[in-house]
Structure 1
């Protein structure tokens, strides 16, 4: 069952429909028209606006939640209470206490919880992790990760632009980079120092351009740059650098395709690659089947903490220690799950 039928839900449903070992039972959305339209698009499955009703449908063993960030806490607790497994869009929640409560609820229920940090499952994320784990750069000391793009929201009414609904851009999009860099380094983050700009317009209630510096317990550093305010339209650039004690790994700007500038503006000629949503779904289903999680719950809680720290840092203009955020010892971050086996695909 999929809860929330916005554009990101289509990515999850597409991955699900490509599986032979899982079926889409139905969809849930607070807007009846959206729910009905999504049901029609996907073979006439069941639909409702009532999550409790959907959780009681026969055949529902697990849920994928694709709703605004601020709704995650209540929805996740309802799924845990119903005894279902959950794949939930990142961030897990928008506060650390909520993230801890959700993690504890699924631990008590004995069901699988996974946050959809999809960049861990794209080819580039897995390739960098594999190279680091293989010792190809020695001990990693510095990560620089930049993901730069333009405006992706439909208009000024988008919920992402409301910090009460999204938690701010560090939690909504910046959390991808914070989690990925931390996964690559395999070290415990100690502080986040961030600054943000309202690049598109001063009227924005969030920062759509972020610079975030994370310092780790082993002395390593991650510098993360995230933008949704770049021009021209269609721009989508990514840069990766990992400096280690014995080498340097880079993925240049055009490592994910070729930028194309013409009189019509900027476009991207994509490189062939795997479907991160499909690989992510396979990893979640594997965890339900008893395999080790590729995205541990503790890492999802930690990602929330880093996003919150970045937002607080921008507000206070100082580094924020992760120890200030009250993460319980039982949710201490994992040392970094290994990269997925390259043979595991959806």
Structure 2
């Protein structure tokens, strides 16, 4: 690991929508320094450089790592590139914070985990929802024992269309892995982290809410059964209307009580001529908290999200997609073991 007094120099790889939030989090973290940006599109890379004070920009990751001597990478590229890039970063001896999912299949996720184990570097999948106040609150209440033994978790995250247009790579299941891996994996990871239990099966259904022409299901309902007997129902949508009105609800029931955490517990609503929308919620910036946690891990602390966590989340996402295709529950262990 790095010296506690060292500044960790970081490359941002991929300069799309989410990269700006990661770059802002790097700038806000005193232990990190943005060493450069990388994108296969020279125009995008140059624009990201200008937006970040003129840092060096590259179209080749190998050249960027060699020329900057970066200690770590934050990867924000399309999902189907994740496993290959992770292996290249590990081979270069750098640490990695990588956007979810870790890969689009279990074999790729396992290769990434094994590469970082061999290199002795930090691999942290960016399951950003774990770092927001609502998720930490639910985790803390469950682990306090106040609710007794958890019977049921219901998590809904509903919103409208956020993708750029019909050409967006996330709408191509061969690139994104499908909606269960691209967005649904947030919920699958959270309910597993909250319960601290082993997911046994995933039973899912999907709907093309926005249009029949979609190649993915933009509405998902995924039911997870855990080894300890708890059940989690996860509802994820990018097809709700009005698009300006997002909603998130959490309900946890146990033998000793009930926790309800509606979205309006942390944010107000505003209604005007354009419709109803949520005011920006208060609380912690999850991307900044996540970046600080990665800096902690790079400088010696345990990773807040491990490679094994990322691998399991990929297995659950793949199980959800298979369940939609077959109409049957899918055993998570069977999926995860396929590539072992």
Q: Distance in 2 between the 1:282 and 1:231 partners?
A: 35
Q: Distance in 1 between the 2:105 and 2:265 partners?
A: 34
Is contact 1:63-1:79 (8 Å) kept? yes
Match of 1:236 among 246, 251, 262: 246
Q: Which position in structure 2 is the counterpart of 1:93?
A: 103
Is contact 1:213-1:224 (8 Å) kept? yes
Q: Distance in 2 between the 1:314 and 1:75 partners?
A: 29
Q: Which position in structure 2 is the counterpart of 1:248?
A: 258
Q: Distance in 1 between the 2:300 and 2:251 partners?
A: 34
Q: Which position in structure 1 is the counterpart of 2:188?
A: 178
Is contact 2:74-2:97 (8 Å) kept? yes
Deviation at 1:328, TM superposition (A): 8.0
Q: Which position in structure 1 is the counterpart of 2:162?
A: 152
* C-alpha distance 326-237 of structure 1, shift in aligned 2 (>3 A): closer
Matches within 5 A, 1:1-346: 1-327=11-337
Does the residue aligned with 2:162 lie in a helix, a strand or coil?
coil
Q: Distance in 2 between the 1:312 and 1:97 partners?
A: 16
Give the gaps of 5 or more residues in structure 1.
331-346
Q: Which position in structure 2 is the counterpart of 1:335?
A: none
Q: Kindly tell me the number of residue pairs found equivalent between the two proteins.
A: 330
Deviation at 1:322, TM superposition (A): 1.0
Q: Distance in 2 between the 1:193 and 1:328 partners?
A: 19
Q: Distance in 2 between the 1:73 and 1:154 partners?
A: 24
TM-score normalised by L of structure 2 = 0.95
Deviation by residue 1:296-326 (Cα, 9 ceiling, x = unmatched): 2111100000000000000001000012214
Q: Distance in 2 between the 1:83 and 1:139 partners?
A: 43
Give the gaps of 5 or more residues in structure 2.
1-10
Is contact 1:152-1:228 (8 Å) kept? yes
Deviation at 1:327, TM superposition (A): 3.1
Q: Distance in 1 between the 2:307 and 2:286 partners?
A: 19
Is contact 2:248-2:263 (8 Å) kept? yes
Q: Distance in 2 between the 1:95 and 1:180 partners?
A: 19
